[in-house]
Structure 1
Amino acid sequence: MPELILNHRSDAQTRLIWALCIASIVVYINLYTVQGMLPSIAENFGVSGAQATLVLSVTSFTLAFSLLFYAVLSDRIGRLAPIVLSLWLLAASNILLVFAQTFDDLLMVRLLQGILLAAVPAISMAYFKEQLAPSFMLKAAAVYIMANSMGGIAGRIFGGLMAQNLSWQSSMGLVFVVTLIGVALVTYLLPRKEIKPSVIKQKVSLLRKVKQDIDGFMFHLSDPQMRLAYMVGGLAFMMMVNQFSFIQLHIMAEPYGLSRFNATLIFLCYSSGTFASYLSAKWIMRYGSMPLFRVALCLMVAGTSLTLVDTLAAIVIGFLISACGFFLTHSCCNSFVAIRATSHRAKATSLYLCCYYLGASLGGPYLMLFWHKAEWNGVVVGSMTLLALLLVAIWRLGIHQQHAADVSIAD
C-alpha cells in the first residue's frame, strides 16, 4: 500500500510538471509570436519597425504588475483555478487580434493579454514547491525554465513563418487554434487535487487580508538579498529580450539584407539558453549560485561585444553566448528566490517576475533611444550600461552572501 501511494504521488507530480511546462510554452508562444512578426506588423499597421517593438513592451508591462495580483489570488483560492481560467481566456483573446484594425487596437488587446499571460509564471514555482517532493524541486524548476526557452523560440519562429506566408488575420487565427489545443491539453493534465494554501482557511476581515498581502510583499522586499536577485533578473531581461527585437532590424538592413523569415532565425540562438537551463540545476547544486552569476555576466558581456564584429557569423555566435549567459542568470535567480522564500512563496516569485518583465517593458523604449542615435552600435552601448549595473548588483549580492556565511560560521 505505501508503494502504491508513492507511485500515485509520483504520477501526479509528473503530470503537474508536464502540465505547467506545456502551459509555459503556450504562454510564451502567445507572448513572443509578435516579436517574430515585427516587420510585418510595421507594414500592416503603418508604423516604423522601432515603434512595432511596443507590441512586446506593452504586454510585458501589464504582465509584470498582473503577476502581483495572481500571487495574492492564488494564495487565497489555490493555484489550479487561476491558471486554468486565465489560459482559456487567453485563447479567446486571440479572436480579438484577428479583428484588430489599427495599431492602437493591437496595443489594447496586447495590454489585455499581458494580464492573462501572468497567471502561469506567477504561480508555477510556488505550485511546484507546494506539490513536489524536495528532490523534484530543482529539477522541475530547470525543466520549467527550459520550457520557457522552448516556448520563446517556437513563438518567434512561428511568428516569422506566418509573417512570410500568411496575412495578419490568418496568422492570428492560427495562433488561436494552437493556443486552444495547448490549453485543452494543460487542463487535462493538471491534477485535480492540490495542497491548498493555509491562508484561505482563515476567517478574517477584508482589511486584515489586504494587510496580510502587503506584509507578504514587504517581507521579501525588506530582504536585501531578494531585492538584489530581483534587480539582477530585471536588468538581464531588460537587455536580452530587447536585443533580439532590434537585431532583426539590423540584419534585415544592408550589408546583410536578410528576408523577414531568415531574420527571425536569429531566435534559434535561444537554444543555447535552453541547454543552459537544462543543466542549471546540476550546476547550481555543484557550484552554488554566486559563481554562476559571475560566469553568466562574463558570457553576456562577451556575446554582446562580439556582435560588433561586422559579420553575420559573429552576430550569431555572439547571441548564442549571450543567450547562454542570460538563461543561466534567470535559472539562478529563479532557484535562489524559490529556495530563499520560506513563506509567501507565490508573492516572492511574483515580485521577481514583476521586476523581470518590468525590465522587458522598459528595455524596449530605453534601447530605442540608442537605436535612433546609432542603430545597432547604439544598442550595444545601451546594453553595456545595463551590464555595468548588473555587475554592481551581483557584486553586492556576493557581499551579502559572504556576510551571511560569516555570521553562520560565527554562530
Structure 2
Amino acid sequence: MTELAPTYRTDAQTRLIWALCIASVVIYINLYTVQGMLPSIAEHFDVSGAQATLVLSVTSFTLAFSLLFYAVLSDRVGRLAPIVVSLWLLAASNILLIFAQNFDELVWVRLLQGGLLAAVPAISMAYFKEQLAPSFMLKAAAVYIMANSIGGIAGRIFGGLMAQYLTWQASMGLVFLVSLMGVALVTYLLPRREIKPARIQQKVSLFRKIKQDVDGFWFHLSDPQMRLAYIIGGLAFMMMVNQFSFIQLHLMADPYGVSRFQATLIFLCYSSGTFASYLSAKWIMRFGSMSIFRVALCLMVAGTLLTLFDTLVAIVAGFLISACGFFLTHSCCNSFVAMRATGHRAKATSLYLCCYYLGAALGGPYLMIFWHKAHWAGVVMGSLSLLALLMLTLWRLGVHQHGSVILLTKK
C-alpha cells in the first residue's frame, strides 16, 4: 500500500487545529470535572473521599483501552466520522449522570464515558500528521497539548465551583449544556472533507485486515524506543494526575481546612504546564528531546519534594514546578511518538495514550495505599518511587538513542 503526499490548504489546516483544540477542551472538561468535585461526590453518594477518587480511575481505565479501538476504526473509516459521532454521544451521556441514584450507577456511567472520551486523543495526532504540512506539525502538537492543559484546568475549576454552589443534578445539567455547545462548535469548524492520501485499492479479507491491525500495533511495540516512550508517559501521568486528587483531601483537612472550591484552586498550578507546552516545540528543536526529558524529571522531583515543607506557599510552588516538568515530559513523548511513527500513525499514538491513561487509572489505587499509611507524606513517598522508575526508563532510552547514532555512523 503506497501513499502520495496530499495538497495542503492553509484555511483547512487552521480550521482543523482550532477544531481539535476545542474538542480537546471539551474532552478534558468532561474527564476532569469530577476531579474538582471529589469531596462533593463523596458527600452526595455517601462514600469516603479516597473511594471517590475511583470515579476518575475507572474512566481513565476504559479510556485507555478504547484508544486502541479508535485507532483501528479510524484507519478503516477515516478520522472525521469517529470524532464527530463520539463527541455527540459524549455530550448526550451527561444526561445519564443527572439521574445517577447511587455510587455504583455513577461508576457505570463514567465507565461508558471513558469509551467515548477516547476518540479525540486517539485520532488527533495522526489526523494532524496526515492533514497538516510538515512545517505546521510541531507547532500544532504543542498548541494541542496546551489545549489539553487548558481543558484540564477549566474542568477541575468548573467542578469546584459547581460543587460549592450547585446540587449534583444542576451541576451535571450545566456540564451537558457546555458540552453541547462545544461539540456544536467543533462540528462547525471541522473541515467537511478529509485530505486523504491516495492509496492503491485492493480487496482484503477480514482476516487479513485483522492481521494488518495486529501487525500495526506490534510494529510499534517491537520498537524499543517507542516502548520506552510509552512507559515514560504512563509513569509521569500515574504520579501527576493522582497527586492532584489527594492534595485536595490534604488541603481540606487540618491545619488548612479550606473549602471545596478553594481546594480546587490548586489546579491553577496546571498553568505552568500550559506555558511549558506552548514553548515545548521550540525547546525540543533547539535542545533535543533527551535534554528536555532530563530537565523535566528534575523539575518533577524538586516540585514533589518541595511539598513536604507542608505550607501553602511550598505546596503551590511545588505543584507549579511539578506541572511544568510533567507537561514538558508529555509534550516530548507526544512529538517523539508522532515523528518516529512512519506508518500506522493512529496506532502509535493510541498505544502511547493507552499507557498514559492506564497510568492514571493505576495511580489512584497505588497512591491510595500510601495515603492510608501516611497521608500526604505517604503520597510523596509513592510519587518518588514512580519517579525513580521514570529515571531508569529515561536512562534506557538514552542508551538506545546513543546506540542508534553509533550504528548510523558506522553505516
CA–CA separation in structure 1 for the residues paired with 2:202 and 2:372: 55
Q: Does 1:184 align with 2:163?
A: no
Q: What corresponds to 2:194 in structure 1?
A: 194
- 1:209-220 matches, within 5 Å, as 209-220=209-220
Q: What is the deviation of 1:199?
A: 7.2
2:91 corresponding residue in structure 1:
91
Which residues in structure 2 correspond to 1:4-403 (within 5 Å)? Answer: 9-196=9-196, 201-403=201-403
Amino acid across the alignment from 2:275: F
Residue 137 of structure 1 aligns to which amino acid in structure 2? M
Asked if structure 2 preserves the Cα contact closer than 8 Å seen for 1:75 and 1:199, the reply is no
**In the alignment, residue 97 of structure 1 is paired with which amino acid?**
L
Letter in 2 for 1:366: Y
* Cα deviation digits, residues 285-340 of structure 1 (max 9, x gap): 00110000000000000000000002100000000000000000000000000000
Cα distance between partner residues in 2 of 1:163 and 1:33: 10
- Shift of the alpha carbon at 1:19? 0.1
Q: CA deviation at 1:393?
A: 0.3
CA RMSD of aligned residues (A): 1.2
Q: Please list the CA deviations of residues 247-294 of structure 1 after superposition, one character each: whole Å capped at 9, or x if unmatched.
A: 000011111111000000000000000000000000000011000000
Residue 308 of structure 2 aligns to a residue whose secondary structure is coil
- Letter paired with 1:119: A
Please give the alpha-carbon distance, in whole angstroms, between the structure 1 residues aligned to 2:199 and 2:212: 9
Superposition deviation, residue 197 in structure 1: 6.2
- Shift of residue 157, structure 1, vs aligned partner: 0.1
Q: Which residue identity does 1:25 align to in structure 2?
A: V
Gaps in structure 2 of 5+ consecutive residues:
1-5
Secondary structure, in 3 states, of the residue corresponding to 2:85? helix
Q: How far 1:200 sits from its partner (Å)?
A: 9.8
Structure 1 contact 276–328 (Cα < 8 Å) conserved: yes
> Which consecutive segments of 4 or more residues in structure 1 shift more than 3 A?
196-202
Query: How many pairs are equivalent?
Result: 406
Native 8 Å contact 1:75 1:200 kept in 2: no
1:252/1:259 contact within 8 Å kept: yes
Letter in 1 for 2:94: N
Deviates more, 1:188-197 or 1:64-73: 188-197
SS of the residue aligned with 1:204? coil
Q: Give CA deviations for 1:181-202 in whole Å, capped at 9, x if unaligned.
A: 0000000000011133667954
* TM-score between the two structures when normalised by the length of structure 2: 0.97
Letter of the structure 2 residue corresponding to residue 303 of structure 1: G
Partners of 1:121 and 1:81 lie apart in 2 by 14
Mapped to 2, the partners of 1:196 and 1:382 lie a distance apart of: 46
Q: 1:44 to 1:197 in 2, by over 3 A?
A: farther
> Identity percentage over the alignment?
83
